[in-house]
Structure 1
Amino acid sequence: MGECMMQAIQVQAGPSVYQCEEDVLLSLEEKLLKYGFRNVLVIHGEKSWKAVEPYFPAFKELVATFVPYSGHCSENEIDRVAEHQADVIVGIGGGTVLDLTKAVANKIGKDAVLIPTLAATCAAWTPLSVIYDDQDRFVRFEVFPRANLLVLIEPRVLLTSPPEYLRAGIADTLAKWYEARALTEQLETKRVSIELAVNTAKLCKDVLLEHGAAAIEALNKGVSNHSFIQVIETNILAGGLVGSLGDRYGRIAAAHSVHNALTQFEETHHLLHGEKVAYGILVQLALEKRVDELVELQPYYHELQLPYLFTHLKLDFESLETKQKIAEWTLKKGESIHMMGQYFTEEDIILALETVEETLKKLLKGRYST
């Protein structure tokens, strides 16, 4: 009997309702009233509210309280926002706002309705939150027992988002394939839900490699075309499905552990979540001795301006102390790298960092002029 048959797989396929279409928010009040809700707590960011406001309906029967978030999804912020009373929690914003919304909804036992303003992560889909401290340092992630109630995407809102967030979302979703593969290769047999997760992760990679650059170009032009819709739905829907179907076998591995390690450096705070994950993919590939795939990804990273060298992270490659600290934090107890079924040492991590740097620097000399 294969290992996966010995594991309990909990499938939380997705939200009760998912819609991605223009004017989808016009029916928001009608949808909420059908569930018997009357008092609505709306959590939002300043920029996200400005993006959504032109499409957000004026409520006639619902009573809404609007609460701006502080910029963090931390325990302190969760406690602060959870003090408000409501029948349902609506989150409007990027991944941090949506994670905060889910955490608050879980804390007070209410449903979450999510309206993403960025396609930077699959946060709108997944029933989990990543918790940081008030200094933006990773603390933990928590999976909730209740799926999100509604996920409503107005494509015109996402067309107003900065291109760097779509780029980061592409990288974060690209990691689904590399991490799901690493988590499932160890299995002698795979249950149907895991096969679905892996196949969806492969679809994510294929769509993003084909349409990623074109989607960013469309965003820069303010045009919603096939590539743009393909990519935002891949980032949010397909990316979220990987973890929803595969449970622990479709979530995160070494790439995200490297991300978490990088958050400990103030120098990397200019990078978005997905950008740090992008670098983590490369380190994971080096750990897996897949240097050929490392080389294959470099032109794509270069075109999308994703980080692949220490200089892109604003870290000093010559500093052994820096590399040791990355290795230490990557291997911290409880980190997802330990789900890969392999034993890694700090020396392995440092060697992987050096492999990425030296391989791609050597490649650059022959591929691009300085």
Structure 2
Amino acid sequence: MPTTVLSSPAHYVQGKNVIAELGTHLKNLGSTPLLVADDIVWGIVEDALGKGFADAGLAVVRVGFGRFATPGAVDGLVETITSGGHDVIVGVGGGSAIDAAKAAGHLAGVRWASVPTAASSDAPTSALSVIYTEEGEFIEYRFFPHNPDLVLIDTQLVANAPVAFLVGGIGDALATWVEARATARGTGSTMAGGRPTHAGTALAQLSWDLLHENALAALDAVRAKVVTPALEAVVEANTLLSGLGFESGGLAAAHAIHNGLTAAPQTHGLSHGQKVNFGTTTQLVLEGADAEELADFVEFSTRVGLPNTLAEIGLTAENTAELRAVAEAACVEGETIHNMPFPVTPEAVVDAMLATDRIATRVRVERSLPAPQMHHAKH
């Protein structure tokens, strides 16, 4: 029988204003934490976080961060950990800062914690980092022997963040069940290193259910900058449930197509979750999903504000070279698209992307949804 694996963080904390408690939780992990945050994030969290650190008797030591988790950024953090004698590193802010902190903590042999300030991806809970070039092109996944020692997310910070961040997180999380069920049907492995557990697959489906029940109300809460039960549910779905679900349930075509899209300059400026959602819609087409399920997904993701057409990710059907390059990158050896329960070729991916564009455009007309708007990448 195949080996199944479930992977999870040691401790997960979620709630309104819990950023003030970070010092208390970190004190259980080490005595000399290093905080990694860009200037914008630091301006948001410094006061509340600093008070909590003072109450816990910890010194506040923070280094800045750029835009992407690059090999150079990770190596620089390792040097800072070593030279400063830090015993725990804390990624504060977006997914790339957290990924860089995890990768650096692993290389330096210290403990690490994830403190997202928006529910914009499911990266914080995982035992892996996504590494990019300086331009934001996907390079590799880096895997670690354990998950973060702590994940802490303050839902008031999520409510105060731009609504686009939560939209992107919903896009990332919606892929989780679609990919997990495909992995379960096939013979591939999960990021945790084995076949999916029933628990991992069930958590992926729970994330999907909570999002369909609460996403639109949660977006309204963020627009009002308030914390509601709907927002709490979506933050948990985006962060914890999607994180456990993708890592222990399995990734498939949606994230592989996302990785391929990072190589197309026209898509630059889009969030991870936006590109993933186009990948999810394409995966549904690729696997021949029920027509009603596909149409319902197009409608729901459109109402959330996620792209499901080529125009919305900066491409057209005439961009044949770019579409071919995306498909080939999505199908390279070792990519998660090979977790699909049937062989997938670049030709099939190109055809599915073109069909996705036509289907989504038609559904949006039939259901009186907003027409797609062309995304123009900033150069």
TM-score (norm 1): 0.91
Who is 1:256 aligned against? 255
Q: Alpha-carbon deviation of 1:140?
A: 0.9
What are the Cα deviations for residues 12-47 of structure 1, in whole angstroms up to 9, with x where unaligned? 2x2222111234333433333344x22221100122
Who is 1:29 aligned against? 23
Q: How does 1:37-52 map to 2 (within 5 A)?
A: 37-52=30-45
What are the Cα deviations for residues 75-133 of structure 1, in whole angstroms up to 9, with x where unaligned? 01101111113111011101111111101100101111221101011122112111111
Q: Alpha-carbon deviation of 1:259?
A: 0.4
**Alignment partner of 2:140: what SS?**
strand
Who is 2:148 aligned against? 148
Who is 2:231 aligned against? 228
How many Å separate the matches in 2 of 1:72 and 1:88? Answer: 21
- Residue 28 of structure 1 contacts residue 57 of structure 1 at CA under 8 Å; is this kept in 2? no
Residue identity in the other structure for 1:42: L
Unaligned 5+ residue runs, structure 1? none
- The more displaced of 193-202 and 301-310 is 193-202
Who is 1:237 aligned against? 240
Which ranges of 4 or more aligned residues in structure 1 deviate by more than 4 Å?
none
* Distance change >3 Å, CA 62–CA 345, structure 1 → 2: same
- The more displaced of 287-296 and 272-281 is 287-296
How many Å separate the matches in 1 of 2:44 and 2:195? Answer: 40
What are the Cα deviations for residues 46-77 of structure 1, in whole angstroms up to 9, with x where unaligned? 22112222321343432332100121101011
- Residue 299 of structure 2 contacts residue 364 of structure 2 at CA under 8 Å; is this kept in 1? no
- Residue 23 of structure 2 contacts residue 49 of structure 2 at CA under 8 Å; is this kept in 1? no
Residue identity in the other structure for 2:36: I
Residue identity in the other structure for 1:110: V
- The number of aligned residues is 357
How many Å separate the matches in 2 of 1:354 and 1:25? Answer: 44
How many Å separate the matches in 2 of 1:251 and 1:65? Answer: 36
Who is 1:200 aligned against? 203
Residue identity in the other structure for 2:217: A
Who is 1:277 aligned against? 276
Residue identity in the other structure for 2:25: K
**Alignment partner of 2:130: what SS?**
strand
Who is 2:72 aligned against? 76
Q: Alpha-carbon deviation of 1:192?
A: 10
Residue identity in the other structure for 2:255: H
Q: Alpha-carbon deviation of 1:309?
A: 1.1
Q: Alpha-carbon deviation of 1:193?
A: 6.2
How many Å separate the matches in 1 of 2:163 and 2:215? Answer: 11
Q: How does 1:201-350 map to 2 (within 5 A)?
A: 201-244=204-247, 246=248, 250-292=249-291, 293-350=293-350
How many Å separate the matches in 2 of 1:296 and 1:255? Answer: 17
Residue identity in the other structure for 1:208: L
- The more displaced of 340-349 and 135-144 is 340-349
Q: Alpha-carbon deviation of 1:261?
A: 0.9
How many Å separate the matches in 2 of 1:255 and 1:205? Answer: 15
* Distance change >3 Å, CA 346–CA 34, structure 1 → 2: closer
Who is 2:125 aligned against? 125
Over the matched positions of the two proteins, sequence identity in percent amounts to 30
- Residue 173 of structure 1 contacts residue 239 of structure 1 at CA under 8 Å; is this kept in 2? yes
How many Å separate the matches in 2 of 1:256 and 1:129? Answer: 14
What are the Cα deviations for residues 296-337 of structure 1, in whole angstroms up to 9, with x where unaligned? 211112211211111111112123223222221111222110
- Residue 15 of structure 2 contacts residue 232 of structure 2 at CA under 8 Å; is this kept in 1? no
Question: What RMSD over aligned residues (CA atoms) do the two structures have, in Å?
Answer: 2.0
* Distance change >3 Å, CA 27–CA 205, structure 1 → 2: closer
The reply on whether 1:184 has 2:180 as its aligned counterpart is no
What are the Cα deviations for residues 155-188 of structure 1, in whole angstroms up to 9, with x where unaligned? 111111111110110111110100001000136x
- The more displaced of 209-218 and 316-325 is 316-325
TM-score (norm 2): 0.89
Who is 1:366 aligned against? 366
**Alignment partner of 2:354: what SS?**
helix
